[in-house]
């Protein structure tokens, strides 16, 4: 019995997206990887065709779809064998903060542009001295009447170059308890006092723009705060369930594409006169990888269903995030082994897949942090 149930509308959406990806994304991937960034035009096209922010209500020009549309977007983009088109980051991680916590004025101002792709979003939490430990952030926000003054820096910010609207986590230096000091603010590109730093060169995710951000006496309206002052940490914790679920799903579908590719490769590649897939060692490796995929798919889809039922599954999503990303990394390593020398060449798709999958064990909270969360709730 299927865990997830897709309607005719879901399937029609998938077909449209599949055609779009084949025509507009896949043919351009190699060039984008060389450029180190994707053009804003692909975001505009995604939005114009209804593939961004599918859960945003119709009153803000969205389609008001359920979470399965987000699943479909992640699955279909995985066929491109690259990670630059980080639609899930924009649609399912950043924009939900605006939908859930922004004032009505801010929703009307920004959500339609997020849906259309005219506004590309990013969230800035990580700092040079603070990664998974949000309580250690040093960026400050001092509210003075109708204005907020932001000072500090952020790093490893995805969509940092293309981004046009940023959610910034900053703390009130006057509040002693770090968990009660953090607030979230919206800052537009071009705001005085806000500057981008380096466009970071990474081992993977080459076409996904990642940058440093700097704030020096950056003034924004107090009205740009999301929710109540000092509630930033709780907001981040509330949304981390979906973020980590999306990470698990992303790793799962990446692993699925890797297994599909390496299985086909082993069937077509001959060693000593017979296909590599006829070797028992190869067969066992492929079966083990395929089994991991089946297990990961069942676990992840169960969590998707429970997330759609609004269940509290933060522990389970933490487990899924670490397990699926570790599994995908194992599959990447094993696939490179099966490719032999060919796996070390850039023209081999597994070389890019291997580079790209490594960071999944780090972002959205390291896998060590994920295990720590599970251990805490197990009473260990």
The residues carrying an active-site annotation are: 243
* Rounded (10°) CA dihedral 201, 262, 371, 168: 30
**Phi, psi (rounded to 5 degrees) for 347:** -75, -10
**E strand segments, the chain:** 121-124, 140-144, 147-158, 165-171, 182-188, 194-199, 210-221, 225-226, 270-271, 274-275
Structure tokens at 287: 């079966």
Phi-psi region of 116 (alpha: psi -120 to 50; beta: other; left: phi over 0): alpha
Q: What would the DSSP string read from start to end of 52-112? A: S-TTS-GGGT-----HHHHHHHHHHHGGGS-----HHIIIIIIHHHHHHHS-HHHHHHHHH
**Phi, psi (rounded to 5 degrees) for 45:** -65, -40
**Cα separations in angstroms, 30 against 34, 84, 220:** 6, 11, 39
Dist CA 163 CA 177 (whole Å): 31
Dist CA 148 CA 168 (whole Å): 12
**CA atoms 226, 227, 233, 234: torsion sign:** negative
Residue 130 is given by DSSP the state: B
Dist CA 170 CA 173 (whole Å): 9
Cross-strand bridge partners of residue 147: 144, 221
Structure tokens at 142: 């001092």
């Amino acid at each position: 019995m299927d865990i997830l149930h897709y309607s005719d509308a879901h399937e029609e959406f998938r077909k449209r997206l599949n055609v779009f990806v084949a025509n507009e994304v896949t043919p351009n991937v190699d060039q984008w990887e060389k450029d180190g960034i994707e053009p804003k035009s692909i975001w505009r096209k995604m939005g114009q065709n209804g593939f961004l922010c599918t859960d945003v209500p119709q009153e803000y020009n969205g389609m008001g779809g359920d979470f399965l549309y987000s699943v479909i977007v992640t699955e279909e983009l995985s066929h491109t064998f690259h990670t630059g088109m980080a639609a899930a980051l924009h649609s399912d991680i950043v924009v939900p903060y605006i939908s859930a916590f922004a004032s009505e004025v801010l929703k009307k101002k920004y959500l339609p542009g997020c849906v259309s792709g005219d506004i590309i979003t990013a969230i800035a939490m990580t700092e040079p001295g603070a990664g998974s430990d949000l309580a250690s952030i040093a960026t400050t926000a001092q509210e003075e009447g109708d204005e907020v003054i932001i000072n500090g820096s952020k790093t490893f910010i995805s969509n940092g170059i293309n981004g046009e609207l940023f959610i910034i986590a900053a703390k009130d230096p006057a509040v002693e308890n770090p968990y009660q000091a953090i607030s979230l603010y919206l800052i537009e590109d071009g705001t005085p006092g806000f500057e981008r730093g380096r466009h970071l060169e990474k081992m993977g995710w080459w076409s996904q723009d990642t940058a440093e951000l700097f704030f020096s006496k950056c003034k924004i309206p107090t009205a740009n705060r999301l929710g109540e002052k000092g509630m930033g940490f709780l907001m981040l914790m509330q949304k981390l369930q979906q973020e980590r679920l999306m990470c698990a799903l992303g790793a799962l579908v990446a692993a699925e594409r890797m297994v599909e590719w390496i299985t086909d490769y082993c069937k077509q590649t001959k060693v000593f006169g017979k296909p590599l897939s006829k070797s028992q060692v190869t067969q066992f490796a492929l079966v083990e990888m395929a089994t991991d995929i089946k297990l990961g798919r069942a676990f992840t889809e169960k969590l998707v269903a429970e997330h759609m039922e609004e269940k509290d599954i933060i522990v389970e999503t933490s487990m899924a995030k670490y397990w699926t990303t570790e599994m995908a990394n194992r599959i990447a390593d094993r696939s490179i082994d099966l490719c032999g020398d060919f796996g070390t060449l850039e023209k081999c798709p597994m070389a890019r897949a291997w580079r790209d999958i490594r960071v999944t064990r780090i972002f959205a909270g390291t896998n060590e942090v994920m295990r720590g969360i599970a251990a805490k709730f197990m009473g260990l």
